[in-house]
């Protein structure tokens, strides 16, 4: 699942325990979210490759480049 920083903060604040436990949970959620985002970016890259192979022009690829950029902005902890 793709999380935002605020969603991760809400989840982490609900955890009882030490700061180490909360920090570990934050890191775990960020890794999971970034992994899912990277999968979506790879899907966009694959679509772009497929469209180029079919002879599509750059103009028709703009949507996929925009999607890829949108997902890149969702990466956390960078």
What tens digit of pLDDT does each residue of 4-41 get? Answer: 999 999 999 999 999 999 999 999 999 999 999 999 99
Query: Tens digits of per-residue pLDDT, 40-78?
Result: 999 999 999 999 999 999 999 999 999 999 999 999 975
The model's pTM: 0.86
**Residue positions counted in the chain:** 78
Report the pLDDT value the prediction gives residue 78, as an integer from 0 to 100: 58
Q: Is 11 exposed, middle or buried, given 0-12, 13-18 or 19+ CB atoms closer than 10 A? A: middle
């Amino acid at each position: 699942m793709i999380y935002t920083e605020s969603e991760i903060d809400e989840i982490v604040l609900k955890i009882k325990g030490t700061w180490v436990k909360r920090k570990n949970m934050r890191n775990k959620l960020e890794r999971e979210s970034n992994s899912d985002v990277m999968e979506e970016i790879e899907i966009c890259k694959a679509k772009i490759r497929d469209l180029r192979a079919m002879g599509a022009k750059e103009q028709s690829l703009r949507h996929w480049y925009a999607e890829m950029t949108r997902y890149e902005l969702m990466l956390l902890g960078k």
